[in-house]
Structure 1
Amino acid sequence: MANCNTKTIFVLVSVAEMLTATAQAQTPVERGRYLVEGILTCGNCHSPRGPGGVIDAAKLYSGGPQTFDEPTFTVKGANITPDPDSGIGKWSADDLKKALIEGVRPPGVPLAPIMPYGFYKVFTTGDLDAVVAYLRSVPAVSNKVQAPVYKAALHVEVPPGADKRMTDADLREPVKHGFYLVTIAHCMECHTPKVNDRLDFANGLGSGGQSFRGPWGESISRNITSHQEKGIGAWSDAEIKRAITQGIGKNGSQLKPPMGFEWYARMTDADLSAIVVYLRTVPPKE
C-alpha cells in the first residue's frame, strides 16, 4: 500500500492477529450478534420501522417495511426470526447456510438477489456458523411478509475475488481482512455503477454513482476508490471511519441513507482500520 512503512505494516499485521484472537474468544452467538447487528446491517432490510424511521426493537428482524421493486422481482425483507410459521423457525442450520451463501430457501425456492448472497460466499466457516447461531437465538416474532414476485430470471452478482470461502489464515493478512469485511458488508453493491441493470465490477468497482430514493430524498453513492480527487484517496483514516460510522463527509457535510451508519458504529476500531487498509488498495476510478 502506498505510504506504508515497515512499522505501519507491523502494526497492521498485529491488528489482524488481534482480530482473529478476539473472534475466537467470542461464543458463536456473541460473534453472530456482532456481525448481524454491525457490519452485515441485516436490520436495515429485515426490521420494521416506526415513526421517524426508527426501528421497532420489539419486532427486530421480523420483516422490513420497504418494498424492493426491480425489473426482475418485487420483494420485501423477510421475517428472519425463529417464528415457526412466518419466520425461519422450521429451517435447519443447513437451510440457513444455504440461503445465506447460495440464495436458496426451503423447499428450493430462489431468493431475490437484493439479498446479497453473492457477497456472502466469502464467509469463513466460523462466521457463517456464528450468524446462524445468533439468528436462531433472537426472539421469535409472528409477522407474515408478502410473498415475493419474480418477473424474470434472476441474476446474481459476485464481486471479484469473492467467489469462494475465506479462511481464518486469510484474515491474518491486513488487506485480505479488510476485503473480507467490505465484502460481507456488501459495500460494492451500492458503490459500483450499474450498466444494463448489472453491477459493472470490471470497469467501475467502487466508483459509485447509483441513485437511491427514500424518506431522505435522493442520495447518490459516492466514489470510494483511492482516486485522490474523485474518490477517498486524499481522506485521512479518521475521516473515512467517521464517514462510515457517523455519516459525515470529509468537508463536514451530512451524508444520507441508505448507508447504515448506525449499524457500522457498532464495529470495533480494529475492524474499521482493516476496512480502511483495503479501501486504499482499490484502484482509482473517476
Structure 2
Amino acid sequence: MTTVRRTLRAVGAAAAASFVLAAPAGAATATDSDHDALLARGAYLMNSIVACGNCHTPMGPTGPLAGMELAGSGDMPDVGMVWRAANLTPDPDTGLGAWTDAQLATAIRDGVRPDGSLIGPPMPVAFYKKMADADVAALIAYLRSISPVKHAVARSSYDFPLPASWGPPASAGLTAPDRTDPVAYGGYLADIGHCMHCHTPLHAEAPIPDERRVGAGGLAFPGPWGVVVAANITADRDTGIGGWTDQQVKDAITKGVRPDGSRLVGPMPVANYANMTPEDLDALVAWLRTVPAVSQRVR
C-alpha cells in the first residue's frame, strides 16, 4: 500500500503541469504522451481526493471487493430513499461502455444520463459542476482504462420527486485555480472532493444544504459501521477544528486519527486521502482554515 501511495503521489505531482494542455472531453485525439499524462491525472484524482470508489466500488467486511472496482453498489437505505451507486466500468451492457465522452461529462457535472433522466442523490452534482474540463477528461480517461465488469445495478428509488434539473449546465471552458494560490486551489479540491456534501447540515425546512452552516456537521450516515455523524470542520475552536494544528488536521484526513488518538469510522475515505500529494494536502488545509466558524457540537 505504501508503494501504491508513493506512485500515485508521484504521478499526480509530475503530470500536473501538463494538464493545461489536456484536451477536454470530446476534443480531438491527443498524442500518446498527452493521453498518458491525462490517465495519470485521472488515476491520481480517482484514488485520492475525488474517491468515486467510496460509493461505486462494492465493499466487503475487509474493504473493497477484489475485481469489482467501480462496479456499483447494492441497496443503501437512507432517509426517504434507497440509493444505489451505478456501475462505472466500461462494460457496454451494465456499465458505461456505450456512453460517449460527452455523455460521461454531462453525467458527472450535470447529473443527466444519456436518456435524459436525472441522477439523484447522493451524487454531488452541485460540486462536480465546478470541476475543470481537464480534470473531467482525466477522470473519463481513467474510467475507460479499468476492467469492464458485468454487474447490473438498479437505479436508486426515492419517496420524493426529483427536480427537473440540477440547475444550468456546467459552464464551458472551466479551469482549476492556479496552484500558486493554495487557498483557492484547496477550495477547488474540497469541491471536487465534495467535502461539504457530507459535512454541511441540511435546512430544517427542506432537504438541501444549509448555506448558513457550511461545514458544521451533523448529518448521520448509517452503514456497516453503525450510524456515524459528520464532524464540524469549521474554524470554531470549541466544536470544530479551529484548535487543531495543521498536522492534526492532516492526520485526521489521511490517517483517520483525531488529536485525542481516537479513530474515525464510517464513510470517510481516509485510504484515498492518504494518496494526496503533500502540496494538495497543504492547499486543502489552507482552505479549511478559511471556513467560517460555526458553533455546533456534534456527537
> Normalized against structure 2, the TM-score is what?
0.81
Question: Given the alignment, which residue of 66, 77, 88 partners 2:85?
Answer: 77
Partner of 1:235: 244
Residues 198/144 of structure 1: CA separation in 2 closer, same or farther (3 Å cut) = same
Question: Given the alignment, which residue of 191, 206, 226 partners 2:235?
Answer: 226
Q: Distance in 2 between matches of 1:255 and 1:145?
A: 29
Q: Tell me by how many angstroms 1:210 deviates.
A: 1.1
Q: Tell me by how many angstroms 1:37 deviates.
A: 1.5
- Could you list the per-position Cα deviations for residues 129-169 of structure 1 after superposition, in whole angstroms to 9, with x for gaps in the alignment? 101111011100000012333443325889xxxx7675245
Residues 116/68 of structure 1: CA separation in 2 closer, same or farther (3 Å cut) = farther
Question: Given the alignment, which residue of 44, 47, 57 partners 1:37?
Answer: 47
Residues 105/171 of structure 1: CA separation in 2 closer, same or farther (3 Å cut) = farther
Q: Distance in 2 between matches of 1:23 and 1:240?
A: 28
Q: Tell me by how many angstroms 1:20 deviates.
A: 4.8
In the alignment, structure 1 residue 276 sits paired with structure 2 residue 272: no
Secondary structure class of the residue paired with 1:119? helix
Q: Distance in 1 between matches of 2:15 and 2:180?
A: 8
- Could you list the per-position Cα deviations for residues 195-224 of structure 1 after superposition, in whole angstroms to 9, with x for gaps in the alignment? 234344321100111111211122111110
Partner of 1:192: 200
Question: Given the alignment, which residue of 130, 149, 158 partners 1:122?
Answer: 130
Q: How does 1:131-280 map to 2 (within 5 A)?
A: 131-154=139-162, 166-195=174-203, 196-280=205-289
Q: Tell me by how many angstroms 1:19 deviates.
A: 8.9
Moved more, 199-208 or 243-252: 199-208
Identity rate, percent: 39
Residues 86/19 of structure 1: CA separation in 2 closer, same or farther (3 Å cut) = closer
Residues 245/203 of structure 1: CA separation in 2 closer, same or farther (3 Å cut) = same
Question: Given the alignment, which residue of 54, 58, 65 partners 1:56?
Answer: 65
Q: Distance in 2 between matches of 1:280 and 1:62?
A: 36
Q: Tell me by how many angstroms 1:18 deviates.
A: 8.9
Number of residue-to-residue matches in the alignment: 264
Q: Distance in 1 between matches of 2:83 and 2:223?
A: 16
Secondary structure class of the residue paired with 1:122? coil
> In the alignment, is the contact (CA less than 8 A) between 1:81 and 1:140 conserved in 2?
yes
Residues 254/277 of structure 1: CA separation in 2 closer, same or farther (3 Å cut) = same
Q: Distance in 1 between matches of 2:219 and 2:197?
A: 9
Gaps of 5+ in 1: 1-16
Gaps of 5+ in 2: 1-12, 21-33
- CA RMSD of superposed structures (Å): 2.3
Q: Distance in 2 between matches of 1:62 and 1:141?
A: 6
Q: Distance in 2 between matches of 1:149 and 1:218?
A: 21
Q: Distance in 1 between matches of 2:157 and 2:75?
A: 15
Q: Distance in 1 between matches of 2:206 and 2:82?
A: 15
Q: Tell me by how many angstroms 1:170 deviates.
A: 4.0
Q: Distance in 2 between matches of 1:30 and 1:193?
A: 35
In the alignment, structure 1 residue 21 sits paired with structure 2 residue 21: no
